[in-house]
A = this chain, B = another copy of it.
């Protein structure tokens, strides 16, 4: 029997999660969470879930699949009919081993101080140790998620209010976490002291507040952006409004630079900077660092578009569409037979010969992971008649795996770990290859080297990794 295969033509890092929460008594909190998860779907396509409370009880629906697959008219109606006042949601991608329904989020648990729902984006580096300690105290675990470790910590720490409980646990937890936490009467957002993963707050026009991984999640429900939750800060939203509390500080911040490069949606702002604009600056800087004589600048859609616009503008080379992306290919499809596999990249990306024929082409991508797709792209551009193919990458070489919430390959699978740019150029068959430098990245963006994690490029992890 034929088997569906992963349609991994993009050869990209994958974000692990998106989180959302809304406090808005009297409004359609389930509907807003549903819309919010649609807006954050790019952050995780493996499972989705919504939990809602009406001030007394908590209901939940979650399963494997896209938001549009997990929720149908019946299941969404049942949640909506619950008449909730607060809701939270989650979309998730996971590494292979733990792709199981029990690991879907939000996690809903009941402990001595009531019910708790938890949506978590990130990765706890000392999760094994924390888990071991909890097990030694007699706790058991039903999932393999960090979120269950966090919830267990909250449950056992013995504080009467959930905000005190979270605060009391925070010193123990090392790693990346942007949390949305819901009790029957409160919505809470927290970011780890280094602020590795994003989380922002917005205000609804008719009252109430929204928490979301990205501002595009605020936009879709008509919420006005207030601010990003600060590293080490907790935001508590309840009937007395919104209040903030600094619960932990870390001199060194470490916001994930890859959110700007690839993960976040271009229409989102992070700490006041728009992602699309940032990528245009990366593209412009790339044009300055690696200039080339050429006829056209084309993006690898969609992730290369913003940087390609910037490159074209800076270099004065004409911007063009040279590769068309098929919008109907999902995460997997069925490859019917072996000899059709060769043409499989063209089911997702097809070149426009009339644009490319006889042209010297600069093709812009945001990153190279294993290099396999880059080689195919160079090949199809050349097959389509491009005279020269100059690949430009709007980030530095990815050399180290992420341990803070991103699904990456091990170093051995990262082509730049073991090969120089010139070797990579040769392997992918391009006429030239240029990566944005780390210095250029910071300089172009105006971001501070000290406030960001760029460990995938430089290996400087913000935490000592567990063994």
B residues in contact with A31, CB < 8 Å: 335-337, 340
What CA separation (Å) do A305 and B322 show in the bound complex? Answer: 12
What CA separation (Å) do A173 and B76 show in the bound complex? Answer: 39
Contact B219 A350 (CB under 8 A): yes
Q: A1-B1, A142-B107, A155-B140 are in contact. Are A324 and B66 (CB under 8 A)?
A: no
Q: Say yes or no for A183: interface residue by CB 8 A criterion.
A: no
Q: Say yes or no for A294: interface residue by CB 8 A criterion.
A: no
Q: Residue-by-residue, is A322-360 near B (CB-CB < 8 Å gives 1, otherwise 0)?
A: 011011111001111101101100110011111100000
B residues in contact with A142, CB < 8 Å: 107-110, 142
Contact B266 A321 (CB under 8 A): yes
What CA separation (Å) do A330 and B1 show in the bound complex? Answer: 24
What CA separation (Å) do A321 and B113 show in the bound complex? Answer: 49
Contact B334 A76 (CB under 8 A): yes
Which of A37-45, A192-200, A242-250, A431-439 binds B? A37-45
B residues in contact with A155, CB < 8 Å: 135, 138-140
What CA separation (Å) do A1 and B267 show in the bound complex? Answer: 33
Q: Say yes or no for A442: interface residue by CB 8 A criterion.
A: no
Q: Say yes or no for A67: interface residue by CB 8 A criterion.
A: yes
What CA separation (Å) do A147 and B100 show in the bound complex? Answer: 21
Q: A340-B221, A346-B219 are in contact. Are A321 and B276 (CB under 8 A)?
A: yes
Q: Say yes or no for A77: interface residue by CB 8 A criterion.
A: yes
Contact A274 B34 (CB under 8 A): no
Q: Say yes or no for A375: interface residue by CB 8 A criterion.
A: no
Contact B42 A327 (CB under 8 A): yes
Q: A42-B328, A336-B31, A346-B219 are in contact. Are A112 and B138 (CB under 8 A)?
A: yes
B residues in contact with A266, CB < 8 Å: 321, 324, 352
B residues in contact with A116, CB < 8 Å: 140
Q: A350-B220, A352-B267 are in contact. Are A35 and B336 (CB under 8 A)?
A: yes
Which of A251-259, A312-320, A453-461 binds B? A312-320
Query: Taking CB as reference atom, which chain B residue is nearest A339?
Result: B28
Q: Say yes or no for A55: interface residue by CB 8 A criterion.
A: no
Contact A109 B140 (CB under 8 A): yes
Q: A30-B336, A274-B355 are in contact. Are A68 and B328 (CB under 8 A)?
A: yes
B residues in contact with A140, CB < 8 Å: 109-111, 116, 151-152, 154-156
Q: Say yes or no for A265: interface residue by CB 8 A criterion.
A: yes
B residues in contact with A110, CB < 8 Å: 135, 140-142
Contact A221 B39 (CB under 8 A): no
Contact B339 A267 (CB under 8 A): no
Partner of A76, one of B76, B107, B336, B340: B336
Partner of A38, one of B158, B269, B329, B342: B329
Q: How far is the CB of A456 from chain B (nearest CB, A)?
A: 24
Contact A346 B220 (CB under 8 A): yes
Q: Identify which of A269, A309, A321, A333 gathers the most chain B CB atoms within 10 Å of its CB.
A: A321
Q: Say yes or no for A216: interface residue by CB 8 A criterion.
A: yes
Partner of A320, one of B216, B309, B337: B309
Contact A342 B222 (CB under 8 A): yes
Q: How far is the CB of A161 from chain B (nearest CB, A)?
A: 15
Contact A343 B35 (CB under 8 A): yes
Contact A354 B274 (CB under 8 A): yes
What CA separation (Å) do A266 and B325 show in the bound complex? Answer: 10
Q: A39-B347, A343-B222 are in contact. Are A80 and B2 (CB under 8 A)?
A: yes
Contact B309 A321 (CB under 8 A): yes
Q: How far is the CB of A280 from chain B (nearest CB, A)?
A: 8
Which residues, 101 to 128 on A, are CB-close (under 8 Å) to B?
101-102, 107-112, 116
Q: Say yes or no for A449: interface residue by CB 8 A criterion.
A: no
What CA separation (Å) do A346 and B330 show in the bound complex? Answer: 22
Nearest first, the 7 closest Cβ-Cβ pairs linking A and B are A31-B336, A138-B156, A274-B354, A140-B155, A111-B140, A28-B337, A112-B135
Q: List 9 A-B contacts (CB under 8 A).
A: A28-B337, A31-B336, A35-B343, A60-B102, A101-B101, A112-B135, A140-B151, A274-B354, A319-B319
